[in-house]
Chain A
Amino acid sequence: MSEPAGQFSRLRLGTVVALFGLAALVLAGRAFQLQVLQQDRLKREGDARAVRVVPLAAHRGRILDRHGQPLAISTPVDSVWANPAELMGARHRWPELARALGLKPAALARRVTARRGREFVYLRRQVTPAVARRVRALGLPGVGLLREYRRYYPAGEVAAHVLGFTDVDDRGQEGLELALEEILRARPGRKRVVRDRKGHVIKDVELIQAPRPGRDVILAMDRRLQYLAYRELKRAVLRHRARGGSAVILDARTGEVLAMANQPGFNPNDRSQIRPGRYRNRAVTDVFEPGSAIKPFTVAAALERRVVSPRTVIDTAPGLLRVGRNTVRDVRNYGAIDVATIIRKSSNVGAARIALATPPEAFWRVLDRAGFGQVTAVGFPGEAAGRLAHYRHWRGFERAALAFGYGTSVTALQLAQAYTVFANGGRLVPASLLRLESPPATRQVVSRRTAQRVLAMLEGVVSREGTAAKAAVPGYRVAGKTGTVKKAGAGGYAEDAYLAVFVGIAPVSDPRLVMVVTVDDPRGEAYYGGEVAAPVFRRVMQGALRLLEVPPDGVLPRSRLLARVEGGA
């Protein structure tokens, strides 16, 4: 019995072994095929399903004021996107999604179906955290959130013109956002990850590019002074029903722009209402004829060449002067007055006579070195250079007209910068919108003696007998010059459109601030620079000098308080 059994079992064993062997061979062969022959293709296919490159958001640099207060910040927000191919499968839930997003169902449907062939469509960009949470809670297939950054401007309209704004992709469009784009811009990174079927990241494969956030920029601006300047400018523009205006405050020693405000304004946080033209930084992009505000330079050039001295008497009677076929006029007949009085009363005839006695080359050199007709170094987009013709091209009347500020044009910033000459012992300090770490290189325009003499004359302007009595700041000695300029339009000068200007320096004993105020086309009763622009200067300076803790150098009105110091040993 054992014999057949043994034979049978050997046959059986052989068969089983052969079958198993064959199976093992098949498996090994298949394994070889998959692991070796098709490895590349399979790995590629697998990766295509699981490995993704995802962006790593990086935030744009902040813009800070000189004390580190934020003026522009990028905060993270979510944008809702969808993969239309996947979302098409969940049509019945679209109304829910539309509700969560605050979109009309029809609009959502149009948006998705129009791009059904694509893999990516934004449903709504930069939503609030609450909307993002609701969308995430829906858990729809093919709907995702993408981290983006939105720019906020905490100072709102107050600093809007200087800062400018960015577009929805956080790229600078206007103002400093555009000028400083290279520094502020963030470079988003990318990384390769493995995701599971539900889209969760389960493994970082590699960092392709590290995200690099933008660098912060510190401006020269002082938020407190900026607010003051903006508030007072706005008030004056409203009160005098003016078309617009600008105010610029420079640090007289460093040329740093402590404030630069414009009207009309706009809210940079809500760009739906921005109208082109509203966001122009007029203080830098718009030129005007400086009018009487140029007279200190006329006098400085004459003093420099010893054509006149502050006490030289010039006859301005009868209040008009014929130059070629044109006539220079004064408001009234001032008679024979000295140079200081010409500045104080702002006599056009006197200024013209002085300029005609000065060699054209000397006059031109002072204006040219004071920066007239040249863009400043601030590097603001769209900055205007103004105009100053070369003295070789001057004709008779042009020379006389230049003496009281017609035939040349400047921006408010240029004018403020030019006045640093008188605030700084004859040296021009270049304007800077960025905070400086070290004092800038200055340039001698006129001698220290000339600058001090002109400054003394300018102090006379802000006196009861001067044109700018309303610029006086209690407790401080203030110098300045008014200007009331007829506006040039198409076809010559307008009869009843003026630009009121005031340029001031304070305090006179050790100048710290230079401020320019322009009010464009005041349509109220008053239109003189001394009536419209000078009060803005006074109100702003009163606050600014206190904020900067500048000790009063003038006479305070008799105080009602009496401080008594009990005598020590």
Chain B
Amino acid sequence: MNMRVLTAVLALAVLISAVAVVHTRHRHRSLFVTLQALEQERDALDVRWGQLQLEESTWGSHNRIERVARKRLGLVAPRPEDMVVIRDE
């Protein structure tokens, strides 16, 4: 009697464990697919970030800023005659 109950319990446990294995496997697969997608996304973002950094420093290069400021915007550096120093002593 005892034996039979034990067997039943064990059989049930085996069944549950078997289903759990299948379930875990499945989760592993789907999570792995997600992981790979995320890694690819990270790589793509990394590439993009590098390109943006370069782009930013190209646009922001002093060479270009100076050219735009002088040629296109017609700006000039203030001459000493144009400056007034306000001292607060």
Partner of A75, one of B47, B80, B82: B47
Does A558 contact B81, Cβ atoms closer than 8 Å?
A: yes
A149's nearest neighbour on chain B, judged by CB, is: B50
- Binary flags per residue of A539-569, CB closer than 8 Å to B gives 1, else 0: 0000100000001100011111111010000
Closest beta carbon of chain A to B63's beta carbon, Å: 7
* CB interface residues, B 36-56, toward A, < 8 Å: 36, 43, 46-47, 50-51, 53-54
Nearest 7 Cβ contacts at the A-B interface: A75-B50, A154-B57, A474-B80, A227-B62, A563-B84, A76-B47, A559-B84
- Binary flags per residue of B65-86, CB closer than 8 Å to A gives 1, else 0: 0000000000001001111111
Q: Any chain B CB within 8 A of the CB of A73?
A: yes
Closest beta carbon of chain A to B47's beta carbon, Å: 5
A528, B22: Cα distance in complex, Å: 87
* CB interface residues, A 327-366, toward B, < 8 Å: none
State whether A69 and B81 are in contact (beta carbons under 8 Å apart), knowing that A129-B47, A201-B36, A204-B32 are contacts in the complex: no
Q: Any chain B CB within 8 A of the CB of A74?
A: yes
Does B53 contact A556, Cβ atoms closer than 8 Å?
A: no
Chain A interface residue count, CB cutoff 8 Å, equals: 35
Does A75 contact B54, Cβ atoms closer than 8 Å?
A: yes
Does A75 contact B62, Cβ atoms closer than 8 Å?
A: no
Given contacts A59-B46, A559-B83, A561-B84, 9 further A-B contacts (CB under 8 A): A73-B50, A75-B50, A76-B46, A201-B36, A202-B32, A204-B32, A204-B35, A223-B62, A563-B86
Residues of B contacting A563 in the complex (Cβ-Cβ under 8 angstroms):
84, 86
Residues of B contacting A74 in the complex (Cβ-Cβ under 8 angstroms):
50
In the complex, the number of residue pairs spanning A and B with C-beta atoms less than 8 Å apart equals 68
Does A475 contact B85, Cβ atoms closer than 8 Å?
A: yes
Closest beta carbon of chain B to A548's beta carbon, Å: 15
- Binary flags per residue of A197-210, CB closer than 8 Å to B gives 1, else 0: 00001111000000
Chain B interface residue count, CB cutoff 8 Å, equals: 24
A552, B51: Cα distance in complex, Å: 41
Does B50 contact A559, Cβ atoms closer than 8 Å?
A: no
Q: Any chain B CB within 8 A of the CB of A152?
A: yes
Seen from chain B, the residues whose Cβ lies within 8 Å of a Cβ on chain A are 32, 35-36, 43, 46-47, 50-51, 53-54, 57-58, 61-63, 77, 80-87
Does B54 contact A560, Cβ atoms closer than 8 Å?
A: no
Does A556 contact B80, Cβ atoms closer than 8 Å?
A: yes
Residues of B contacting A313 in the complex (Cβ-Cβ under 8 angstroms):
none
Does B81 contact A552, Cβ atoms closer than 8 Å?
A: no
A59, B43: Cα distance in complex, Å: 12
Residues of A contacting B85 in the complex (Cβ-Cβ under 8 angstroms):
475, 551-552, 556
